[in-house]
Amino acid sequence: MRSLADEETFHPVIGPVAEAEALYVNQLQLRERLTNHSAEFIIWDVGLGAAANALTVLRATRDLPCAIRLISFDCTLEPMEFALQNADALGYFGGYENHLGKLLRDHRIEFRDGPQSVNWELHLGDFPSLLAQPAANSWPKPHAILFDAFSPAKNPAMWTLPLFTNLFRLLDPKRSCALPTYSRSTIMRVTLLLAGFFVGVGHATGEKEETTIAANTLELLDEPLDLRWLDRARRSHSAEPMIEPIYRIAPLTTESWEKLRQHPQFK
């Protein structure tokens, strides 16, 4: 699937299921975490799109006795509507078509799938604006975040320092939470660090040799960024986070560098 408005393709190269399995299911160790988790496991799905990430997560864990609460966000339902109309051609909807139809209509659905129970809700709107509203404080705190926005060049509002600062602020510091994303750019990693996250090298997917994973605890990172990466970031021409939703590249400012080198990850 391709968005003509944004001129970007959903899940390029390896397809939606393989990408979601590598980037989210395996990297977040969802099966292992759910096996050792007795309460409701909360996942924020940022960028519902055509629902491939969410459905891959549900399908990969459907045989486990678990309770999953999915909270999806998107500014439009058009990709999912189109995907449902072409479900046979896309091939990853098997068994979930009726559930997604109800989610489209009601923005909320509950169902059981064998031993798995699912509570799925949808927040429709501009994600940066939703995050900044007082109502965001009442959202259930996540154990995992699937972050899948279009690229910074096409959708800069979804990659700013204020957005990730607001996102980090909403996490429960006593609840371990990880956020993988497909980008490995220096500017993205600096942004996550300055927002408060610990940041590490993520699993390869498709043509990407590595991706990025962030968390509110170092224990969820297998390969945290190290001092060698920090030195490369200092010398990079594209490392300064975006404050405004306008795409641009720039080296680190003195202020950002001082904050970055004081991050507890590099102590």
Q: What is the pLDDT of residue 180?
A: 95
* Average pLDDT along the chain: 92
Q: What is the pLDDT of residue 3?
A: 47
How far is it, in rounded angstroms, from Cα 151 to Cα 165?
A: 19
Residue 12 pLDDT class (50, 70, 90 cuts):
very low
Given a cut of 90, is residue 203 above it in pLDDT? no
Q: What is the pLDDT of residue 7?
A: 53
β-strand 198-202 against 178-181: which pairing, if any? unpaired
91-142 tens-digit pLDDT: 888 889 999 999 999 999 999 999 999 999 999 999 999 999 999 999 999 9
Per the CB < 8 A criterion, the answer to whether 173 and 196 are in contact is no
Tokens of residue 203, six digits = 């699993």
Summarize the confidence of residues 204-219 as an average pLDDT. Answer: 86
Summarize the confidence of residues 225-244 as an average pLDDT. Answer: 96
157-194 tens-digit pLDDT: 999 999 999 999 999 999 999 999 988 999 999 999 99
How far is it, in rounded angstroms, from Cα 208 to Cα 181?
A: 12
% of the chain at pLDDT higher than 90 = 79
Report the range of poorest mean pLDDT among 3-17, 123-137, 177-191, 221-235: 3-17
Q: What is the pLDDT of residue 16?
A: 77
